[in-house]
Amino acid sequence: MDVQIYLFKSLILILWGIYLGVESLAILKWTVPQHLVQSVGNLYPINNFFLSISLPSEKQYVNRFWKEIRVGDFVRLRCNEIIPADILLLSSSDPDGLCHIETANLDGETNLKRRQVVRGFSELVSEFNPLTFTSVIECEKPNDDLTRFRGCIIHDNGKKAGLYKENLLLRGCTIRNTEAVVGIVIYAGHETKALLNNSGPRYKRSQLERQMNCDVLWCVLLLICMSLFSAVGHGLWVQRYQEKKSLFDVPESDGTSLSPVTAAVYSFLTMIIVLQVLIPISLYVSIEIVKVCQVYFINQDTELYDEETDSQLQCRALNITEDLGQIQYIFSDKTGTLTENKMVFRRCTVSGIEYSHDANAQRLARYQEADSEEEEVVPRGGSLPQRGSTGSHQGIRVLHRSQSTRSHRRTGSRAEAKRASMLSRHTAFSSPMEKDITPDPKLLEKVSECDRCLAFARHQEHPLAHLSPELSDIFDFFIALTICNTVVVTSPDQPRQKRGCLNLLRGHSPVKTIEDFLRRFTPSRLTSGCSSIASVATSKSAHKSGSSLLSTLANDGALLGLEERLGPPAPGLTSNGYSSGADGWAQHKVAKEPEPEQELRYEAESPDEAALVYAARAYSCTLVDRLHDQVSVELPHLGRLTFELLHTLGFDSIRKRMSVVIRHPLTDEINVYTKGADSGILGPEWPGLGRHQMKIRSKTQNYLNLYAVEGLRTLCIAKRVLSKEEYACWLQSHLEAESSLDNREELLFQSAIRLETNLHLLGATGIEDRLQDGVPETIAKLRQAGLQIWVLTGDKQETAINIAYACKLLDHDEEVITLNAESQEACAALLDQCLHYVQSRSPHSAPEKTASSVSVSFSPVCPPLVTTTPSPSPSLVIDGRSLAYALEKNLEDKFLFLAKQCRSVLCCRSTPLQKSMVVKLVRSKLKAMTLAIGDGANDVSMIQVADVGVGISGQEGMQAVMASDFAVPRFRYLERLLIVHGHWCYSRLANMVLYFFYKNTMFVGLLFWFQFYCGFSASAMIDQWYLIFFNLLFSSLPQLVTGVLDKDVPADVLLTKPQLYKSGQNREEYGPRTFWLNMADAAFQSLVCFFIPYLAYYDSDTDMFTWGTPITTIALFTFLLHLGIETKTWTWLNWTACGFSILLFFTVALIYNASCATCYPPSNPYWTMQTLMGDPVFYLTCLIAPVAALLPRWVCGTLTFRSSVSPESLFLARAGKRPTVLPKWFTDGQAGQPEPTGHRLFLGALPGPAAAGGSGENLEMLFFFFL
């Protein structure tokens, strides 16, 4: 008994040690890079320098380690140094107070981002002196939100200035293109945003694992029942056979015998130890090993490598690979996920007149026809020709996030190709298709007319006043396209420096960084990229004028001298008020010889903005410079106009628009230019709206609908002129909102809403976003696999519907239900009407279409013809407002029931929150397996809520990838990931889990049946060392090899017949029914394997351990043959593993029995195996018992396969090119039957096709030989 307890403890410790070791290695594989980077950063001087910190006692900058940084320290950083803490930027060597940082180590984005010196310090001309800093900083508590920072700084004069994320340098980022900066530490150590976000990957538990844990509890209950049964039996046996109990029970220390109750208790506890193998602890170890190997093979699949972007699939989660084979609902974003996110200007409407740009459409068609041709990659460090050298569109290139190029020919090494690809990926619109816009002749003629008017009035005080309303709208339209964005114009020159910063840069020694170390753990990235600016802060110049204005208002309450206090216009004109140039825009292109100019580079935050800037440039309205407080535009007649940039109100998903507030250099007026969705611009009509503007709005809305039907992305352009009194009133409330800490976002939102009212509509644009290659085919295959696909997009309804038809999400011959409601009551009524309509559809009648349903936004768009065949399920289209109503508690069940009846669902104008709510609703209410796929930051919440999150490394940054479980280069790779690898992973793990339960139950059954012959005394007829090493060594390797390499169906068959994926959705491989059938089969096999040797050695002089050795051998053979039946793909590794297990068992047994004579007295294992190997009975039992035990499983498995719901689909898929191996009786009567759509046998299938050499057929013939 003591030996059993000791061995039990040792076994448990060994298994748990192995499990924890494997789990630790798996975790370290993904987390060690981050921890190593942090350790190096904390223990060693950054860039082999000590960090420069200003100490009041030293009155100079001194060198310190990262770990010595404290909140309130002043830190000086140089170019290419890594930021050691969250630092508030107070000084920069850039004359405009800018600092460029690279955030690749933080969020994976390779583009550069700009940061701005805190307002009040950017005006300093001399070097910043930390000893003179006396301001007070108030900020929020440390948090993990990388996109937000709230605070304010109170200067000596009592004025407050708001602090934003644009003022904060985050730990882990790198200083780029800025010689030196100085800042004060706000958060340090573990309170920095980088470390607060470094909590490790989100743990997810797969559905198979949850089912397995439930079955483990059943095993625990079964163990208790078996132990309790044995305890009761032993107590009764002791009470009945008093004279024989000394043979099995150990007496007390004083020699007295145990009472029946005490003996039963001891027997119960001992049986727990003896039968503990029933609980598959080693299963957890094996699953971790198999999952790590599965992830490795998925990553190595060359079919998931995208040559175009030189990227491959990334498995970012180790523990949910099997969930890929059980997905039921896919939730997908549209822009950048289904489409390329390459925005090309297509057409526009200005002042109610539409310009179709037919020549531009023909040009795009030619590019699309030649899209498959290879394009030359821009070499590293190369530049485009200067502006004016060959055309008006050269010399400027746009950069934005993760732009991909077409596939290129790899003439050098893979590393060189990857570097070239990385450069091209981040150079947006590197091909002429995106940037060469062909102007519309009608619009170009009106531009020329505008040019003539401006030429006539160029020397007058207000030249724009001489333009007609239509020409004035055209002028403002192109000005808005040019400056209403966050596009930044840069040049490859060295960064500019302040004169006062020379002392700051003295002693600058060569920089040696640890970035080579960092690049080993992070993707390759460029040191220069695009910038992301979305500032809502008041600019420096605006603060100057605004502060003086507000002080005047506070003192005398009047608007005296308002014009003077607001300051003069920003300089941007020559002495006569205009820059010199040719007489006309058209003449400018021909007559004016281009002067040698510096190459310009556009850095755009989104492809939409870049497309609009290029469109304006096609009409000679060129963005040439942008600073934090001004933006310069070059016009052919007026030359360079510099607009004073007062405010930039960034885009958000609620307002659905962005605005810039500028001072016009020609009129000295304060103008607001706004662009955004039609729902955000064309809001309720305000009272002062004139008839002409109402007519323009009506015409523009019609054109917007036309653009949406063509699948174009639409944007409206509008303008508002503010009086100085209106601006002063708005500015006061806006500054108060900026300085607020508690509800700043809400106050700023309300401030933007007040400004963006009473807008004068200028026009609208239509931008084309093409579908990715292979999207329609992928959606079709996923639907055949039984997957429901929902598209959640923020685009307007008409655009989304058009794209849905293009990608085959909607079919033209199917019925589409459109649900648009203006209120919650209307939404409830429409849901009831839709439910009634769907439920009343009869297979033998045409769908009813009432007049009310058509007129009240419930309209079958494409009703099917009257037919006697069952009509297909309809599709549902719902807009964002109706979706918000439908997600309310009282309507969500109706909405979900309706959506469940539909073939596909398209949610338009949906916000990020609504996306996550829809996924959460389906996941929680329907208990379905969900997958969410997206490419942008607005998809992160949806990706995190889903069971499986898939990110696409697209042009919206790396936020989606960083939050995902799997990352794919393109949407089309989702097909192979799910249908092939998902099916394989699920099938392998499901069968391996069932095999573990079977093996442990069968082995425990052998020990349990023996209790009937030993008085339930918890004795074991199997040697203790065999008990220890049987699961650990003898039978562990073959099941691991099968779990890693087995392929029940070849990949090409799975892709040809995607309906085989439904087996995972229906949990046909592993579920409660298969579990209990598997356990019953294990009990039967244990009976056979126990009683055949028992009868063979009955009434012989064989001792207990000699008799237990054949049982152990039979169990090993039975396990291996059982595994052979379940293995569908045999390789040399499978044969090697099985042979090694048998060889290892006999080798250990022979050595152990030969060398251990009296290891455990009174038992004597000496020469046991040697004696048995000389007895013919041993060979007969080892041959007959496994065959007899597995024969019912083989026969029942075949019959179950024959009569299942899908009798032949999986079998034919597995048989593949080997139809002749089927027995004739199995194929009789199958001709003429329709092809099934699913499968599953429950007790084991016939061996499938062999992957190497037809070994599956050999195993089948071996089985017939046994019979």
Kindly report whether the peptide bond that precedes residue 1162 is cis, defined as omega within 30 degrees of 0. Answer: yes
250/584 Cα distance (integer angstroms): 113
Task: Spell 925-940 as b/e; 16+ CB within 10 A means b.
Answer: ebebbbbbbbbbbbbb
61 CA to centre of own chain: 43
User: Any binding-site annotation on 29?
Assistant: no
Residue with tokens 């190029």: 405
Cα separation, 512 vs 44, in Å, equals: 13
Q: Residue 901 carries which DSSP code? A: T
Integer Rg of the chain from CA? 38
The answer to whether 818 is annotated as binding is no
Tokens linked to 365: 């068609």
Helix (H, G, I), strand (E, B) or coil at 336: coil
In the annotation, is 333 catalytic?
yes
656 is in an annotated binding site: no
Q: Consult the annotation and say whether 333 binds a ligand.
A: yes
Using alpha carbons, list the distances in angstroms from residue 519 to 194, 201, 310, 412, 524: 18, 20, 17, 22, 7
The response to whether 796 counts as a known ligand-binding position is: no
Strands 930-934 and 948-952 turn out to be parallel
DSSP 330: E
Contacts of 500 (CB under 8 A, 6+ apart): 124, 125, 126, 127
CA 710 to CA 712: how far, in whole Å? Answer: 6
Q: Is 841 annotated as a binding residue?
A: no
Is 793 assigned a ligand-binding role in the annotation? yes
Strand order in the sheet with 174-176: 112-116, 98-102, 174-176
DSSP-based three-state secondary structure for 1072: helix
Burial of 257 (0-12, 13-18, 19+ CB in 10 A): middle
Helices (H), 557-677: 562-565, 585-590, 607-618
Q: Which of 94, 249, 333, 879 is catalytic?
A: 333
Q: How far apart are CA 334 and CA 935, in angstroms?
A: 9
* Contact predicate 389/369, CB 8 Å: no
User: DSSP label at 756?
Assistant: S
DSSP string for residues in 762-790 = EEEEEEEEEEPTTHHHHHHHHHHTT-EEE
CA atoms within 13 A on the CB side of 101: 31
- Determine which helix (DSSP H) or strand (DSSP E) holds 1261, and give its type and residue range: helix 1255-1266
Q: Give dist(CA 992, CA 858) in Å, integer.
A: 50
1069 is in an annotated binding site: no
CA 387 – CA 77 distance, rounded (Å): 36
| Residue 702 annotated as part of some ligand binding site | no
Q: Strand (E) positions, 254-408?
A: 305-306, 311-312, 314-315, 329-332, 339-350, 353-355, 396-399
183 annotated as ligand-binding: no
958 close to 109: Cβ distance less than 8 angstroms: yes
Q: Are 764 and 353 in contact (CB under 8 A)?
A: no
Q: Is 527 annotated as a binding residue?
A: no
795 is in an annotated binding site: yes
640 is in an annotated binding site: no
Measured distance CA(51)–CA(75) in Å, rounded: 8
Q: Is 939 annotated as a binding residue?
A: yes
Two tokens, residue 1208: 């032949």
- For residue 794, which of 937, 913, 909 has the smallest C-alpha distance? 909
Whether residue 165 contacts residue 116, with contact meaning beta carbons closer than 8 Å, is answered with no
Distance CA 960, CA 856 (A): 38
Angle among Cα 990, 995, 1001 to the nearest 5 degrees reads 130
* Alpha-carbon separation of residue 352 from 357, 470, 704 (angstroms): 15, 9, 11
Q: Is 145 annotated as a binding residue?
A: no
Binding residues for ATP: 333-335, 609, 651, 675, 713, 793-795, 909, 915, 938-939
Binding residues: 333-335, 609, 651, 675, 713, 793-795, 909, 915, 935, 938-939
Active-site residue list: 333
